[in-house]
Structure formats: structure tokens, C-alpha cells
Amino acid sequence: MTAFIDQFSGRKNFLHYIFNNNYIDLKIIKCPKGALLKFTLQICGACIAFSGCSESGPVIANVPEIPSIPNDSPTNTIADVYSDEYATQYGLVLINAATLNNQGHTGQGVRVAVVDTGIDSSHAEFKGRPILGSNFGGDARGIGYDSDGHGTHVASIIGANRNAFGMRGVAYDASLYDYRVGPNNSEGYLPGLASDRQVATVFRQAITDNIDIINNSWGSETSVTSLTANQVNLYYKNSIAAARAAQKNGTLFVFAAGNEHRDQVDIWGGLPYHASELAGSWLTVVAINDTNTEAYYTNRCGVAQAFCVTAPGSSVKAAMANTSNRHITYSGTSMAAPHVSGIAAVLMQKFPSLSASAITARIKRTASVAGLKGKNGETVETHGMQVMRAIFGHGLINQTKASAQIGTLTLATGQNFFDEGSGIDITQQRLRLPLGLPSAVTRQILTDSFIAFDRFDGANFEVLGDEIFPQSPVSEPRRVLGYATPKSQSGNPGHQDYTIGSLTFSQNSDARLSLTQEGLSSTLIGRGFWDEKVGLIGQPDLFDKTSSHQFKLNAQISGQLSFETFFQLTNQTDGSDSGHGATLSMQATPHLKLHATISRWALPLKLITTGSGNVTAPGLSTTVSFGLRHQYRENIEIFANMARYNLADINPTPQSFGLTSAVYRSHTLGVELLAHNGHRLSVGVSDPGSMVAGELTLMAATGRSPDGTMHYAKKRYSGFKTSNYLENMVFFASASLPIERTGRSQLSLDISLQSGFDQQDAPTQLGFKMSYVF
């Protein structure tokens, strides 16, 4: 025959015996021969307890020795020898406690105070764990001792060791603080909580100890609705003030709802209903059993539903005080509350930047009434959400959901997470990678880990680069290689050339000073050498294409050799983007022209990761290029160009990449066919620009402070020397079709096709241009 306590009302010795084995299994309790099994009620706050045999005490049979388990960090914390202790405490399974434990979050470093009858620090479930705290009303033996057993039971639900024995806590590495306020006196009250001032003293200790969570599995017979707000603020003013001060210091309050089986929580659990300033960092807990059904004894959330949640509380097996290594089964909202405290502890370890109020909001937001049933059969399907909220509040807590992403993920780009516009929603926008990166470096970035923040509360989550950046940067549109604006009857191709003066040094040489208005990129490519084919010469897409003003001094050294120096300004208002250089051109043979340029420049680079915009290096970059044009036949010309760009160093920011000792390289090889009617067709291959040396850097978020202040660290990517030379190569074809010539005017249609040579993700691009030259 097995018996259990089925009901407990207030602090009266009310026992209801049911002769079955549906709720509490007493098979481990055996009495000596001749002794009768009996029950004694232990009145200690919001608990229901059973124990005892007549004459001699209970004998716990067949308790194995506690095995020695190595201190490891498994990815599966419930495997092998650890499975039984997890399954024994069914509440762990019900709230998915293993989720964060398996990720290494076990409450380590989080301080949890247990306001109760004490914690038996000698019990095996606390072996090796220092138990700190204060004695507010216990006997002279002080903290680390529990003559009642209630506090030890509660504390072990929160933080019992993971030791392959008995059971384990939700946050088994949390730092436990014994705030001993009992045991109960002869009148059934906890001595350390006998008055408003005494409670306030306990709460203020949480400030001194920098407590993160304070578990309160105690209460009162007084219902929250039996007092007015004025009465509460008069009778409990010290407790309210102390609790609020502790909350401002970062403490989360967890309270048991009480076991009077009423429609409302007790006055302590419902304190924020009258003192709303407490609600942000406060959770009151009602109880269910192992079938997700409302416990017969629990108070309902009622008017406290805004800060009320649900947790397992019936028949919870946990540590038994003063037995060294025994366990006992208790029922009550006292047992439900520590499940919530445990979840809060592991969440605080996982999300150290979240405030207590943010942790509270996360627990409430992810709790659910789905699948819960009231003691009278109420379900959300049959009675609706309003009725279920009145019973269960936000619902059953769930560690898996509470630790997961709730809102959209944001990549931080500002100094403070809470500033408007300080981040990019990566579910709506991908960041931009610099073009010209080899696949090996792109893979480094895409497989690297980054920190993103939940817009719901700023919780940080680790994401891979492929969730932030496009799978391949070559999928972005590139400049399509094609013919430049054709020559007019009077000038050079596609730009305005104003001759300022001319000096003649001999019959074979002269010098000309001119001002040129360029229409293409100011990367100082030799446009006068390439004429219309200047648009077919690949340049790194990393460079922004801006118009420029150029001053040139050209010297014709001989009939075959010319030298040119130039100074160039782009149309930037501050004049910061500028350059200078020199060009040497030679007619090597009647059919072969050679060209060499060296230049120094400061130009905007497409390194911004978010939207449009560019970054200008503080120093000058250097370009060295060589080109040739070979007239193979009267109507066939072979052309080639190669260039090397040594880029000035640029520091990274949260919104832009940086470069260190970076080198880009570009190559172009093509053939042009010229028809007698002026139609032109060029085909060829080009690497517009690939990074072949140096280091790519980025300032990436590592976390944030609770006030939102962002923390960044520099990420570095290299490995450019191992790049495949074909990776950024493109095939191009371009046709220039003059349509009409009228006097000095010309109308021309240009069609260009460009496709990646060895890039599966590279788009095929088609370009059209209509040009009219006066």
C-alpha cells in the first residue's frame, strides 16, 4: 500500500490520503520490521512534504555509491551514466533543461540566492560547491545547515550537481547562496521573514552580494486581491523599496504562487500587481504535474498573469537534507519556482549582456499555454486564451525556446545597440563583400563565426558568414566591358580636351599643356593610348568609377616616343580624391604600339559593407600598368594590358572592410575586328581585378554591455597567394555599330556581353549603350 499527500491548504495540517500510486512513489521508503509507515506534514512556506516511520526514522534502501565522474564538457550532458539522473527529475525533461546544458551553459558564474530553511551543504548533490550566504533567522548553526529539508530540496532543483547520481539541477554550476530564514517556528512562520523590515533586510543582502536571481519558495495565506494598493504600500513599503533597489542592481525575483488552491496568487507572489515598478524583473510561478495538468493545490495566476509563468511542481524528486546522499519527493509551488530560477540562471550565462528584466521578458515571451490543462479540464481549445492566462499566466516555461532567436537578427554597426539605425537586419539585407577576392578567402569569411543580436532584446547569437554575406561576391553586378564613347570629328574619345598652350623645342619634339574632362574612372588608365578600347581594359570593380579633371603636359620626344605627366582631380568637393603620374608611349614598329604608366592616387574604394558608399584611403596607392596594341592585319588588332595596384592601408570599421599591404592585379587580352563601314567587334578575356596579396580586415562585434555599448574586435583574412588565376576571369564580347553620320555628328549603338569564365555563380551580363557625339 502506498500513500501520498494529495492536498495542502495554507499552513494548516490538512492531509488527504489517497491509496494509489499515481503521484508520489514511496517504494524507496521502507520501515524497520514492526514499524508502521506514517506521514508528518512539514509546514515550510509553499511546500508539501512527507517523511517518517513510527519509532525509528525512515530507512532508504538500495542507494548506490556515488561514482567518481571526470570533470569534462560533453556536448550531450544526458548521455551514458548521466541519463538516469536527468530522467529521474521529470521537470528537467518537461522544460527542456538539457538544451543549454548541452551548449555548455550550466549557470556557471551566476549567483542564485535561496531564501529558505537552509541548504545542507554536506549533501552529495552539493559536493565540491562552496555555499555562501547569510543567516537571517535559522538556529545558531547558521548557513550550510537545514534541519527542515525544504531549502535543500529547493536548492537542489536549481543547482544539484551533475554527478551521475540521484538527480541534477537545472543550472548545476550556478553559485548558490544560502539565505537562511528558518526553519519554521512553533506558529508555522519562518523567523527570518516575520516582518516587513526583516524581509527588506533579506532583499537588501542581495545588493551586497550582487545576487543575480533570488528564489522565494515561501509565501502567505493572504491573497493578492484581499488588500488594496494603499494597504500594500503601507504594510510592505520596506520590502517593496528593498526589492526595487535589488532589481536596479540586477536581481531577478522568482516567487512561488502559493498552495491554497485559490484563483489568485498570494500577496508576496503578487506584489507587483500593487507595486507595478517591480513587475519588470519578477516572475511568480504556478505548478503543474508530469502530465501538464494544473496541480490540485496550486494558486492560479489571476490578476498576476502579466508576470506569472508555469513550471513542474508535483512529485519532484530532489535532495533530502541530513542524509548525505538521499533524495525525497515533494510537491508544491515551492518546487515549481526553482525550475524558473534555474532557467533564468542558464539564460544569464548564455546572454551576459541581458538585464534581469530582459531575461524575464524572454522567459515570459517563450512560455506557452499550449498543451496545458486546468484541473477542471480547461484547455486553450475549449476555453480560450483568456481563461488559460488566468490559470497559467504566460504558460509553461521552455528553455529551448527561451534560448532561441525571438526577433530578427541584427548585425551591429554603431557604438550603441539601442541607437536608432545602429544595425543591419540580416534577414532583410546581405552585407557586401569586396569584389575580386579569391574563393579561398571568400570561404574563410563565409565559414567564419559572427555575432548578431536579436532585435527583440539584444541577445547575442553566433551566425556563420554565409548568413550575413552573399554566397559569392561575383554574383554582384560588375562593370560591363565595352566600347567607350567614340571619337568626335574634333576631339579625343569621350572627353573634352582643352589645349591651353604649346611649346616647340625642335622640329621633332614639342610639349603641349592641356586640361582634360574625363568621363570614366579616375584610376589613371592611359585613355589617349587606348582610344575607344579604353572601356575594354579591365580595372578592379573595387574602385569607384568617378569623373575627373586632368591637367596634362605632353612631350613628343620623337616620332616614335612620347612622354606625358599629369595631375588629376575627381569631382569630390573636398578635392581629396586625386592623383598624379607619368606615361611613356612608343611606336615600337609600324604595327606595334607600347605603353607604360606609373601613377599615385587616392580614390574611393567599394569597401562599405552596408548599402552604397565608399572609403578613401588616407594615403596614396600606386599603379603600374603596361599595354600593347598590335595591328596583326589591316582589319585585325590584338590588344593586351596588365596592371598592378599597390593599395594604401585602410583601417576597418564596423561598416567597412580594411586593407593591409593589399595588392590587386588586372589582365586583359582581346582581338578587335574592324569593318570598312566602321563597325567594330572585340572579343577577349579579362580579369578586371583580383586581390593577390595582403590582408583583408573587418571590425566585428564580440558582444555588448547591458547598457548597449558595443564591443568590437578585428577579424583578419589572408591566403591570397593560393588563389586560382581563373577565378575572377570573364569572357567579353563588344560590338560598336555606327548608325548615322551627319557632318561632325555621329550616332552609335554599342552592345556588350560578359560572362564569368570559371565562376558558377557569376552572372552573364548584357549591356546596351546609345552614343551621340556632336
Do residues 461 and 454 make contact, with C-beta atoms less than 8 angstroms apart? yes
Q: Write down the mean pLDDT value for the chain.
A: 82
Please say if the pLDDT value at position 646 is more than 60: yes
Question: Which of 463 and 769 is assigned the larger pLDDT?
Answer: 463
Please say if the pLDDT value at position 764 is more than 80: no
Burial of 331 (0-12, 13-18, 19+ CB in 10 A): buried
pLDDT at 474: 46
CATH of domain 474-773: 2.40.160
698/652 Cα distance (integer angstroms):
5
Task: Tell me if 80-402 shares its fold with 474-773.
Answer: no
pLDDT at 516: 55
What percent of the chain shows pLDDT beyond 70? 77
CB atoms within 10 A of CB 721: 9
Mean pLDDT of 506-523: 52
Question: Which of 483 and 307 is assigned the larger pLDDT?
Answer: 307
Please say if the pLDDT value at position 735 is more than 60: yes
The model's pTM is 0.78
pLDDT at 28: 34
Angle (CA) 327-399-385 rounded to 5° is 110
Q: Which 8-state DSSP code applies to residue 438?
A: -
Q: Which of 103, 197, 116 has the alpha carbon at shortest distance from 158?
A: 116
Residues counted in the chain: 774
pLDDT at 46: 44
Mean pLDDT of 567-596: 79
CA end-to-end span of the chain: 109
Please say if the pLDDT value at position 630 is more than 80: yes
Phi, psi of 750 (to 5 degrees): -115, 135
pLDDT at 218: 97
357/43 Cα distance (integer angstroms):
32
Do residues 654 and 414 make contact, with C-beta atoms less than 8 angstroms apart? yes
C-alpha cell at 676: 570598312
Of 513-522, 549-558, 601-610, 757-766, the one with minimum mean pLDDT is: 513-522
Do residues 257 and 333 make contact, with C-beta atoms less than 8 angstroms apart? yes
Mean pLDDT of 704-728: 83
Do residues 81 and 164 make contact, with C-beta atoms less than 8 angstroms apart? yes
223/10 Cα distance (integer angstroms):
11
Report CA 414 to chain centroid distance, whole Å: 15
pLDDT at 559: 77
Q: Which of 339, 223, 219, 346 has the alpha carbon at shortest distance from 287?
A: 339
Mean pLDDT of 294-301: 98
Q: What's the pLDDT tens digit per position in 33-60?
A: 444 344 433 334 444 444 443 333 333 3
Mean pLDDT of 221-240: 97
470/431 Cα distance (integer angstroms):
7
Which single residue is written with the C-alpha cell 568590437? 712
Q: Which 8-state DSSP code applies to residue 692?
A: E
What percent of the chain shows pLDDT beyond 90? 57
Please say if the pLDDT value at position 9 is more than 70: no
Question: Which of 456 and 490 is assigned the larger pLDDT?
Answer: 456
pLDDT band at 171 (very low <50, low <70, confident <90, very high): very high
Angle (CA) 523-529-532 rounded to 5° is 85
CB atoms within 10 A of CB 304: 28
677/654 Cα distance (integer angstroms):
54
Please say if the pLDDT value at position 527 is more than 90: no
Please say if the pLDDT value at position 710 is more than 90: yes
Please say if the pLDDT value at position 430 is more than 90: no
Do residues 577 and 568 make contact, with C-beta atoms less than 8 angstroms apart? no
Mean pLDDT of 503-520: 52
pLDDT band at 744 (very low <50, low <70, confident <90, very high): low
Question: Which of 611 and 716 is assigned the larger pLDDT?
Answer: 716
269/449 Cα distance (integer angstroms):
42
Question: Which of 108 and 735 is assigned the larger pLDDT?
Answer: 108
Angle (CA) 516-519-524 rounded to 5° is 70
Q: Which of 764, 763, 756 has the alpha carbon at shortest distance from 686?
A: 756
pLDDT band at 439 (very low <50, low <70, confident <90, very high): confident
Mean pLDDT of 327-356: 98
658/416 Cα distance (integer angstroms):
21
Do residues 194 and 160 make contact, with C-beta atoms less than 8 angstroms apart? no
Q: What's the pLDDT tens digit per position in 201-213?
A: 999 999 999 999 9
280/215 Cα distance (integer angstroms):
16
Alpha-helix runs per DSSP H in 332-437: 333-350, 356-366, 380-392, 399-402
pLDDT band at 722 (very low <50, low <70, confident <90, very high): low
Three-state DSSP string of 516-540: EEECCCCCCCCHHHHHHHHHHCCCC
Question: Which of 336 and 485 is assigned the larger pLDDT?
Answer: 336
Please say if the pLDDT value at position 225 is more than 90: yes
Output Rg (C-alpha) for the chain, integer angstroms. Answer: 39
Three-state DSSP string of 450-461: EEEEECCCCCEE
Do residues 663 and 692 make contact, with C-beta atoms less than 8 angstroms apart? yes
Mean pLDDT of 740-763: 63
Please say if the pLDDT value at position 330 is more than 90: yes
- CATH fold of 80-402: Rossmann fold (3.40.50)
Of 36-50, 310-324, 389-403, 414-428, the one with minimum mean pLDDT is: 36-50
Max intra-chain CA distance, the chain: 135
Phi, psi of 600 (to 5 degrees): -125, 135
Among the ranges 35-44, 68-77, 525-534, which has the highest mean pLDDT value?
Answer: 525-534
CB atoms within 10 A of CB 658: 21
pLDDT band at 65 (very low <50, low <70, confident <90, very high): very low
pLDDT band at 757 (very low <50, low <70, confident <90, very high): low
Please say if the pLDDT value at position 502 is more than 70: no
Question: Which of 282 and 427 is assigned the larger pLDDT?
Answer: 282
pLDDT at 376: 96
Give the E-state strand segments of 399-536 in sequence order: 409-412, 423-425, 449-454, 460-464, 496-504, 510-518
pLDDT band at 741 (very low <50, low <70, confident <90, very high): low
Q: Which of 115, 281, 142 has the alpha carbon at shortest distance from 198?
A: 115
Do residues 552 and 516 make contact, with C-beta atoms less than 8 angstroms apart? yes
pLDDT at 482: 76
pLDDT at 184: 78
pLDDT band at 14 (very low <50, low <70, confident <90, very high): very low
Among the ranges 68-72, 226-230, 423-427, 557-561, which has the highest mean pLDDT value?
Answer: 226-230
Phi, psi of 477 (to 5 degrees): -60, 140
49/117 Cα distance (integer angstroms):
14
Do residues 732 and 686 make contact, with C-beta atoms less than 8 angstroms apart? yes
Positive or negative, the CA dihedral 47, 50, 55, 60 is: negative
663/744 Cα distance (integer angstroms):
44
C-alpha cell at 62: 538500495
Q: Which of 308, 317, 453, 331 has the alpha carbon at shortest distance from 395?
A: 308
pLDDT band at 4 (very low <50, low <70, confident <90, very high): very low
500/623 Cα distance (integer angstroms):
27
Question: Which of 582 and 544 is assigned the larger pLDDT?
Answer: 582
The ranges assigned to domains in the chain are 80-402, 474-773
442/688 Cα distance (integer angstroms):
17
